[in-house]
Structure 1
Amino acid sequence: MKNMQINHAQKGFTLIELMIVVAIIGILAAIAIPQYQTYIAKSQVSRVMGEVGSLRTAAEMCLMEGEDADACDWGWSGSDLLGAAATLDMGPVITFTGTEVTMLATFSGNASAALTGTGANQLVWTRTSAGSWACTTNVPEQYRPSGCSDDLST
């Protein structure tokens, strides 16, 4: 009788191979999740900057027509990233002082915990009497969009 060699092919993965894959996924997740959270917070600050900044046109129209901030038709549709305010429902607090305008937006609601959990993070659009607009904010530097300085004076 001849010796028969039985060929056993490997079926499946070994335990060490599975452990290596799990370790690699864990390392990637540990790096990716914080980066993703930073990205989300930064995009939310940019979104609020744009949403509130879009009200500059309405403010200019109100100033040209001689209306108070309370009498303006802002056309604001609301934002789930801002808290309730006195002048606009779920939006920025807008005040006129002569020809100067201040639009103050405070992060709350559905904003990232990085923006709501560290105190009153705010973004402000201001118009000088000369007619120039500037954006300032007190959000941490890593979330601050370009074009918005950190000199928040409200």
Structure 2
Amino acid sequence: MNINHAQKGFTLIELMIVVAIIGILAAVAIPQYQDYTARSQVTRVVGEVSALKSNVESIFNSGGQIGLADDLTTTPRTISIGWTGSNLVTPPLAITNPAAANVSWAATLGTDASNAVAGAVITITRAIDGSYSCQITNGPTANGWKDSYAPAGCPHS
């Protein structure tokens, strides 16, 4: 009587090799994903605060000054910049020189932002000639800030 006993399933060593490969892939993928998340959060906030440029131009063209809320009793009248907030920014938005042509506004990353970027300040500045610049300061290197998190056109200093 011939009985054929074919092996079915995986051996323990084969399973251990698969687990080791998955562990190696995870060790590489998790830091890359965290970098991607931090970079995308900074880029998102730069986009959100840069979008206020058109509001600033509209306010200046109507003879107003920049504010976080409307106040028509001031001279020149204060008109809201239109900031609705962001879950990645610690409120409030900071506005410097609200009545001047060289106004700037800054947003500090915090709240739901990654630890690697929390505390970084994104500042948009309007020059007297009407041109705009973007700057990121105070990137918390102790938390893992990398200059590669700053998008093109908005360098870290």
Distance 2:17 2:85 in 1: 48
Shift of residue 10 of structure 1? Answer: 1.3
In structure 2, the partner of 1:88 is none
1:34-113 matches, within 5 Å, as 34-70=31-67, 71-85=78-92, 92-95=93-96, 96=98, 98-113=100-115
Structure 2 unmatched ranges of 5 or more? 68-77, 140-145
Distance 2:115 2:103 in 1: 29
Name which of structure 1's ranges 128-137 and 96-105 shifts more when overlaid on structure 2.
Answer: 96-105
In structure 2, the partner of 1:114 is 116
CA RMSD of aligned residues (A): 1.3
Distance 2:7 2:83 in 1: 65
In structure 2, the partner of 1:143 is 149
In structure 1, the partner of 2:129 is 130
Of the three residues 13, 34, 43, the one matched with 1:16 is 13
TM-score computed with the length of structure 2 as normaliser: 0.83
Residue deviations 1:32-55 (CA, integer Å, cap 9, x gap): 000000000000111001000000
Higher strand share: 2
Shift of residue 57 of structure 1? Answer: 0.7
In structure 1, the partner of 2:30 is 33
User: SS where residue 148 of structure 1 aligns?
Assistant: coil
Tell me the matched-pair count.
139
In structure 2, the partner of 1:89 is none
TM-score computed with the length of structure 1 as normaliser: 0.84
**Percent of aligned pairs with the same amino acid:** 48
